[in-house]
Amino acid sequence: MSQYNILPVEEAFAIIRSVVRPLDPERVETAAADGRILAEDVSSTENVPPFRASTVDGFAVVADDPARSKHVVQEITAGALAGPTLLIGTAARIMTGAPLPDGADAVVMIEDTHQEDGSVVLDHTVKHGENVRPIGIDVARGDVALRRGAVLNNAELGLLMTLGYTQVQCFRRPVVAVLSTGDELVEPWEDVPLGSIRDSNRYALMAAIREAGGVPLSLGHARDDRDLQTQLLREGVEQADVLITSGGVSVGDRDYIKPALEELGKVHFGRIAFRPGMPLTFAEVGRALVFGLPGNPVSSLVTFEVFVRPTLRSLQGDPHPLRPRVEVELEHEFQLGGSRLEYHRVIARWADGRLLARSTGSQISSRLLSMAGHNALAIIPMGNGVVRAGERLPAILTGPILSE
C-alpha cells in the first residue's frame, strides 16, 4: 500500500510550478543560439535602414518635377554611396536596396519607364515617397527589437545580426541526467536473455530532452539495489539541474526510487490521478529537481511530455512553456477515464474545415507503437461511460496537424 495520496493533476502542476525558476543567464554566440531564450531586452542602437533606400530597380527622381523626360546622370548600385544631389530634370538609375541621392524623394519602377533620345521617360506621374524605404522604418534607434523571453528562431537570429548583436544573454539550458532502473534491462545492442528487455526509455527520454532544449546526460541503468540507486541519484543531482529516473516508482518490494529520494531530499508527491503514469514522483534534492517516471515506455514518455517538458521550458526562461491546446472532434467513441484523467494518444487531422482526432489504437502502457505517429494528446475526463463520436475534447498538440 502506498503512503502517498493520489493528487489531482492540477494540484501536481501547481506544486511543480511553485518551485521552478529560470536558470541563471549566460552570454552566448548569436550564431549558435538557435532555440535559446533571451534573458534580456534587446534594443536597437541604430536605425534600420540607416539611409533612404530604393525598394525596386528603377530611377530615382524628384516627385515634384513636372518633366516626364529626364536625363540620367548617375547609376547607384546596392552597397555604393549615393551620388551628388539630384536636380530637376534629371534621374539616377538605381538598384533595389541602394541609397537614394539627396534631392530625390521617389523611385519609378523600371517597368514604368521607356527610353527616348537617350533620356528616360516616365510613363506615369510619381508620388512623393513612392518605392522608397525611409530611414528607420524597419527598426528605429532606441526601439526594443526583442523582449526578454523571446525564443530565438531563424527570424530572431537574423534580426540580432542585423542589429550587430553577435552575442546575447540567454537563460542557461538545463542539464538533465537520465537513469534507468531494473534488473531486467539490457542495452539495445546486447543479446536479450529470456526475461529481459532492452532499455528504450533512456534513449527516448534523452531525445525528448534535446527536443525540449535541454542537455541530456546519461547515467546508464542501475539494477534493483537500493544502495546503488541511492548512490547514483546522489551523483546525478550533483551533476545536473534535473534528474529523471525511469522505473522503480511503484509499490513493489524492489521499487527503491521513492525511498531513496526521501532519504536524499523532499518528495512533493508520489502518485497522481493520471493515466498513463499514476506513480509519477516529483522531488527536490538540493538544487536539483527530480522526476521519477514510471518504467513502462508509454507512461514514461507521456508523463515527460505533460509534466517534465514544461518544466524544462520554464527553466530556460520560456514565458509560454506549454504546448498549444486545441479542441478536437472525435472520429469515434472513447471510453471515459474512470478515476483518472487520461491523456490519450491520437492523430489529429483537418477534414472539411474540422479538426478531427482518432485514437492510435491500444493504449496499454507497454505499447510504444501507440506513441509513434501521434501528434496530439486528447484529454479524456474522469468518469464512467463514453464520449461519443462527434463530441469535442481538449487536446495538447505534440506535432504538426495532418492536412486534408
232 to 224, 225, 226, 259, 294: CA distances (angstroms): 12, 11, 10, 14, 18
Segment 279-290 shows an average pLDDT of: 97
Q: What is the pLDDT of residue 254?
A: 82
- pLDDT tens digit sequence for 306-322: 999 999 999 999 999 99
CA gap 106, 114 in Å, rounded: 17
Is the pLDDT at 153 greater than 80? The verdict is yes
Compute the average pLDDT of residues 186-209: 91
The average pLDDT across 376-396 equals 97
Q: What per-residue confidence (pLDDT) applies to 184?
A: 87
In whole angstroms, what is the distance from residue 123 CA to residue 374 CA?
Answer: 58
378: left (phi over 0), alpha (psi -120 to 50) or beta: beta
> Which of 353, 319, 311, 337 has its CA nearest to residue 394?
337
State percent of the chain over pLDDT 70: 99
pLDDT of the residue at 82: 81
pLDDT in tens, 329-344: 999 999 999 999 999 9
CATH superfamily of 9-24+173-315: MoaB/Mog-like domain (3.40.980.10)
Amino acid at residue number 103? G
Q: What angle do CA 21, 220, 235 make, to 5 degrees?
A: 50
Residue with cell 526475461: 195
Dist. CA 121–CA 293, nearest whole Å: 75
Best CATH choice for the domain 325-397 from the list 2.40.340.10, 3.30.565.10, 2.60.120.10, 3.40.50.720? 2.40.340.10
- Please check the confidence at residue 362 and state whether its pLDDT lies above 60: yes
Q: For residues 319, 19, 34 and 212, what is the CA-based torsion angle, rounded to 10 degrees?
A: -100
Ranges of each domain in the chain: 9-24+173-315, 29-44+146-171, 53-133, 325-397
The per-residue pLDDT for range 19-78, each reduced to its tens digit, is: 999 999 999 999 999 999 999 999 999 999 999 999 999 999 999 999 999 999 999 999
Give the span between the Cα atoms of 14 and 266, in whole angstroms.
16
Structure confidence at residue 2 as a pLDDT band (50, 70, 90): low
Q: How far apart are CA 344 and CA 394, in angstroms?
A: 11
The identity of residue 361, as a single letter, is G
What's the pLDDT at 366? 86
* 53-133 CATH fold: Molybdopterin biosynthesis moeA protein; domain 3 (2.170.190)
The yes-or-no verdict on residue 164 having pLDDT over 60 is: yes
Q: Give the other-Cβ count within 10 Å of 217's Cβ.
A: 19
Copy the grid coordinates of residue 253. Answer: 518490494
Helix (H) or strand (E) holding 325: strand 325-330
- 39, three cell numbers: 534573458
Beta bridge partners of 114: 121
Residue 355 has pLDDT above 80, yes or no: yes
- With the C-alpha atoms ordered 65, 66, 70, 75, is the resulting torsion angle positive or negative? positive
For 246-261, write each residue's pLDDT tens digit: 998 987 778 899 999 9
Compute, in degrees rounded to 10, the torsion defined by CA atoms 310, 311, 314, 316.
Answer: -110
Determine contact, residues 316/39, Cβ cutoff 8 Å: no
- Pairwise CA distance, residues 45 & 311, whole Å: 35
Residues in the chain: 404
Nearest 10 degrees: Cα torsion 301, 37, 217, 226: -60
Res 1 pLDDT > 60:
no
The continuous run of DSSP H or E covering 108 comes out as strand 106-109
Predicted TM-score (pTM) of the model is 0.91
- Give the C-alpha separation, 130 to 75, whole Å: 19
